[in-house]
Amino acid sequence: MKKDIFILCVLILICSILVFATNSKTPEMELRISDTNQVFTVKVINSEVQSTVGPAENPDMILSMTSETFASIFNAKDPSLEAYNQFKKGTIAYELKVDYATLALKGYKEMYDGFAASHSIVAE
């Protein structure tokens, strides 16, 4: 269950939803679009989501999905909910690069709590 929570947080971050990172630790992840071989770096800087083309220097995690999955999330009326649904369907792969304590310090737990509360999601 811990993995679900933290991966969901990253997806919310990618969708620019509920960004609460306020400490000096910069959340950073790498997003790979598997069928097009595109790679992006996604960071939160000054509470804003910023993305650039290319691999991340020090990612907290690496996410991989097809362009179809990404488009589904990006074009959804509620991107964070669509990301959650796609993750639960297994269409998004991930690799954690840091421990859970580091993720919590970077604000991922706060993001999840806000998302879960606003979408009435209960841990399974």
Domains of the chain listed by start with CATH number:
2-119 (3.30.1050.10)
pLDDT tier at 19, thresholds 50, 70, 90? very low
Is residue 94 within 8 A of residue 64, CB to CB? The reply is yes
- 38-42, 43-47, 61-65, 94-98: least confidently modelled range: 43-47
Residue in 55, 56, 123, 41 with CA at minimum distance from that of residue 84: 123
Please provide residue 15's backbone torsions phi and psi, each rounded to the nearest 5 degrees: -80, 5
Q: What pLDDT does residue 44 have? A: 76
User: DSSP secondary-structure letter at 36?
Assistant: T
Q: What pLDDT does residue 24 have? A: 47
| Average pLDDT along the chain | 77
37 or 121: which carries more pLDDT confidence? 37
Q: What sign does the CA torsion over 63, 80, 68, 86 have?
A: positive
pLDDT over 90 at 27, yes or no: no
The two tokens of residue 124 are 């399974």
Q: What pLDDT does residue 123 have? A: 58
pLDDT over 90 at 36, yes or no: yes
Span 39-61, pLDDT tens digits: 988 887 776 778 888 999 989 88
What is the amino acid identity at position 45?
I
